[in-house]
Homo-oligomer: A and B are copies of this chain.
Amino acid sequence: METTLKRSYPNALGYNRSDYLGLPTTLCKGCGHNSIANMIVSACYELELQPEKIVKFSGIGCSSKSTAYFLDRSFAFNGLHGRMPSLAEGALFADRTLKGIGISGDGDTANIGLSQFKHLVRRNLPMVYIVENNGVYGLTKGQFSATAEKGLKLKRQGENPYLPVDIALEAVAANASFVARSFAGDPKQVKELIKAALSHDGTAVLDIISPCVTFNNQDYSLHSYSWGKGHEAPLHEVEFVMPREEITVEDFENGTVREVTMHDGSVIVFKKLERQYDPTNRTEAVRLLEQAIRRNWLITGLIYVDPNAPTIFDMYSMSSESLNRIPAEKLRPDRKALDMINLSFQ
């Protein structure tokens, strides 16, 4: 794909790609998380978002650190281990015109944060939730996370005795409205899925296999680069098309094409590969994930989407003003209101 190259000049909003950069990474060289951070930069640049209109959230872990390594011009809150979802659930009410991007790790999401993750998804808070999934605790130096496969061997830890938690299946079970899986070794797909996720009006869960080169990159490990490369089974080729762009079917010479129109008018275009897969069918999604588990497939692509599921914001009749800009006068009821209240207690 040439898109990245083609656009290396200011985007429609006048921002250069460099306006989306973060600080230099302090993660290990070759860490999957770095390549995801790069793709977030590219996706935001290509989507022509204003950096100040994005808010970043994260928990604790190498993955969660990486919010510092993209979008330096965006607000960010690096919260507590496993408890980023609740932060976002509070903060994003303050200004609904902002887009939230949350970065978590597999330990952060599937161990200590499982409950907050699932309840976030259930509430369908509009934000992108990326799990940088390496099957291991990177920052604390190589313990098993709940997504580690049974039988994985790690230095100092021995052999993992448990079946893994499947983050995508967990998301679907919790009534997620957007669930995708990708692989840091496939940056183009990662980028297109991030773009789609950013345009989704609801919680968009991206489970991205992101190898930890320091603690879990053995060839046989299900979270390594080489295993991922050998076993990736893309459901489709994905291309994200912005509302005002034209869909150029030329990009997809061969194969049939399917489109899903998102809430904001953008379109996700799927070029079908061998498999016939409909990402708007939840029963299908559940079955596919169940199969993938049994057969050790690294299914990637958009697994499930419902562009019109009600969000948590739909449950409140809030004014369209940014809540955090409402002036004090409007927030404090007047004296008469208090008189009435006092009267009602007499």
Does A174 belong to the interface (CB within 8 Å)? Answer: yes
* Known A113-B115, A161-B310; further 12 A-B contacts with Cβ < 8 A: A114-B114, A114-B115, A115-B115, A122-B162, A122-B163, A122-B165, A161-B315, A163-B175, A169-B173, A282-B290, A283-B294, A286-B286
Return the CB mask of A230-245 against B: 1 if under 8 Å, else 0. 0000000000000000
Q: Do B175 and A173 have beta carbons less than 8 Å apart?
A: no
A49 to chain B, nearest CB (A): 29
B122 lies within 8 A of A118 (CB): no
Copies assembled: 2
Q: Are A173 and B166 in touch, CB under 8 angstroms?
A: yes
- A and B contact pairs by CB, cutoff 8 A, 13 listed: A111-B119, A113-B115, A115-B115, A118-B165, A119-B146, A122-B162, A123-B162, A161-B315, A165-B174, A166-B173, A282-B290, A283-B287, A286-B290
Chain B residues with CB below 8 A from A291, complex form: 283
A96 to B204, CA, bound (A): 43
State in angstroms the CA–CA spacing of A238 and B291 once bound together: 29
- Chain B: which residue is nearest A112 at the CB level? B115
> How many whole Å from A104's CB to the nearest CB in chain B?
14
Question: How far does the alpha carbon of A282 sit from the alpha carbon of B175 in the complex, in Å?
Answer: 19
CB of A209, distance to nearest CB on chain B (Å): 19
Interface flags for A132-152 (1: CB within 8 Å of B; 0: not) read 000000000000001000000
Complex Cα spacing A175 to B166, Å: 10
